Amino acid sequence: MENFIKKVLEGKGDDDSHRYFVRFGKGDYARRFLISMTKGSKIKVKASFELANDLVRFVRDIGNVKFSGKVLSKDKVEGIEGRKKAGVFVYEVSDSSLHEFHSAYYYLVDANNGDIVLKIKKSLPKPGKNEEKIDDKFCSLEVPEKHWHDLKQAFFWDAPEGKKISIAHELKIRDIVFPRDEKDPVKIREKAKRKGTLVRAITVDGNETKRDYPLEG
For residue 98, being part of any structural domain is answered with no
For residue 133, being part of any structural domain is answered with no
Question: What local confidence, expressed as pLDDT, does residue 181 receive?
Answer: 84
For residue 166, being part of any structural domain is answered with yes
Residue 207 main-chain phi, psi, to 5 deg: -105, 120
| Alpha carbon distance 189, 198 (integer Å) | 21
For residue 31, being part of any structural domain is answered with yes
Question: What local confidence, expressed as pLDDT, does residue 217 receive?
Answer: 85
Digit-by-digit pLDDT tens for the chain (217 residues) are 889 999 999 988 888 899 999 989 999 999 999 999 999 999 999 999 999 999 999 999 998 899 999 999 998 998 888 999 888 999 999 999 999 998 899 999 999 999 999 999 999 998 765 777 899 999 999 999 999 999 999 999 999 999 999 999 999 999 999 988 888 888 888 889 999 999 999 999 999 999 999 999 8
Cβ atoms of residues 98 and 109 within 8 Å: yes
- What residues have CB less than 8 Å from 47, skipping those under 6 apart? 34, 35, 36, 55, 136, 138, 139, 140, 141
β-partners of residue 168 are 201
| Alpha carbon distance 193, 169 (integer Å) | 18
For residue 123, being part of any structural domain is answered with no
Question: What local confidence, expressed as pLDDT, does residue 209 receive?
Answer: 98
For residue 113, being part of any structural domain is answered with no
For residue 73, being part of any structural domain is answered with no
β-partners of residue 200 are 169, 211
For residue 64, being part of any structural domain is answered with no
Provide the residue range defining the domain that includes 190.
4-46+144-216
- What residues have CB less than 8 Å from 102, skipping those under 6 apart? none
Question: What local confidence, expressed as pLDDT, does residue 86 receive?
Answer: 85
Domain count of the fold of the chain: 1
